[in-house]
Structure formats: C-alpha cells, structure tokens
Amino acid sequence: MNHRIVLATHNQGKVREFRALLAAQPQLQGLSGFDPAAAVVDAATAGCSDVPETGVTFRENSLLKARAVAAQTGLPAVADDSGLAVEVLGGAPGIFSARWAGQQASDENNRRLLLQQLADIGPEHRSAAFICVASLVTPDGQEFTAEGRLEGTLLTAEAGEGGFGYDSILQPVGETRSCAQLSMAEKNAISHRGKAFTALVPHIVEALAA
C-alpha cells in the first residue's frame, strides 16, 4: 500500500492543518501503518517547484497545482486554492488574496491594506467568507474536487496570534473570537479548508490504499 501523499503547498500552516485533519479521520486509522505526520509530504520536501496560478477561479488553480505535483512526484497530490471574499468588494480579494498588497506582499501587508480599504465601512456591511476549493489528483489521472466556506464578519483590527493569512481579521458567524484565536481543532471543525479536505477524505483513503 502507498502511504505517502503530497500536499501541493510550501505553506507550513496548511501542512500542519492537513496533518491534523487526517489524524482525526477514523477512515484513515484502518490503514495499517498510516501515520499522517510521516505520510504527508509538502511540495518543498518533494522537490516540487512553485506552480503558476494562471486560473481565474479557485477550482482552476487548485487543479493546476495538484496535477503538476502528481505528475512531478508520481504520488497522489492534494492542493487547494483559497481566499477571502468580501461582500462589499464584490468578492475580492478572492483568488488574489495572497497578493492583495502586491506580488511579494506578506500576510501582514495584505491584512493591513484590506483593513485600510474598509476603514469607513460599518459592521452591517463587513460580511465576508473564506472560500476553499481542494483537489485530489492521482498518478493515474483521477481528479476530485470539493468546496468549503466559512462565513463571517471582518473585524476592524487584528485579534489573535494563531493561524495565518487573514485569520486574525475574520470572526466566524456565531463566534466571539477571530479564526486566529481558535485552537487548531476548533478551526478545523468549521473552516473552509477543513470542510473541503474532509469531503475529499473518502477519495484520499482509496488513493492511499491503492
């Protein structure tokens, strides 16, 4: 059985979330010898270069990355493309979330710019959602995708030290804390990425057991 899968990212925050998610899946515990800490390999460790995100939707970019990494490694590859969609901005930053403040912008730069742009927007118009489309591509060419959403409200200032990306400025619906103030288990239970990856788990089980 193959017990290795490549997560097509260089983002260690995503790698930690993905390993934690797989570790919590009962379906995977039935695979003899499966250890998510060792089985999940990130793109950098696998020697994969960055894949240009030339798609115009989360789904297109997610599949581009998974296809490229599966082809380069000969292993099942999981990728995601995700971002923040702000209602008053017509869904932006969207697919440009990681580079909202410029190509080489840091997460902090992106958050700061977005907060500045929305400084005069009242709480009733600060609805936003994290969106994720995750893809699994196997070496034999099978492809599966799933989408997850986390609805919330944009804060007016950062809150929390955990997470990454825009986590510190989005407060999920029904919560009094930002995503950055949640534990990893709490975040995975409601997050856009957790929902999308969880929907792929039955296909991941099959790929790892092949």
* Tens-digit pLDDT string for the chain (210 aa): 567 889 998 888 888 888 888 888 777 766 666 777 778 888 888 778 788 889 999 999 999 999 999 999 999 999 999 999 999 999 999 999 999 999 999 999 999 999 999 999 999 999 999 999 999 999 999 999 999 999 999 999 999 999 899 999 999 999 999 999 999 889 988 999 989 998 999 998 888 877
Instruction: Say how many domains are in the chain.
Output: 1
Encoding tokens for residue 65? 């990355």
Q: Domain range holding 72?
A: 5-209
Confidence at residue 61, expressed as pLDDT on a 0 to 100 scale: 96
Q: How far apart are CA 100 and CA 48, in angstroms?
A: 25
Q: What is the pLDDT of residue 41?
A: 86
Whole-prediction pTM value?
0.88
- Positions at the binding site for substrate: 9-14, 82, 164-167, 187, 192-193
Whole-number pLDDT of residue 30:
62
Cα–Cα distance between 17 and 185 in angstroms, integer?
A: 9
Point out the residues that are catalytic: 81
- Side-chain-side CA neighbours of 153 within 13 Å: the count stands at 14
Amino acid at 146: A
Residues comprising the binding site for Mg(2+)?
A: 81
CATH number at residue 146: 3.90.950.10
Please report the pLDDT score of residue 126 as a whole number.
Answer: 98
| pLDDT at residue 125 in the model | 97
Residue 204 vs residues 37, 98, 157, 190: alpha-carbon distances, Å: 15, 27, 38, 20
What is the pLDDT at residue 31? 67
Which two structure tokens, joined as six digits, stand for 125? 């118009």
pLDDT reported for residue 118: 98
**Binding-site entries:** 9-14, 81-82, 164-167, 187, 192-193
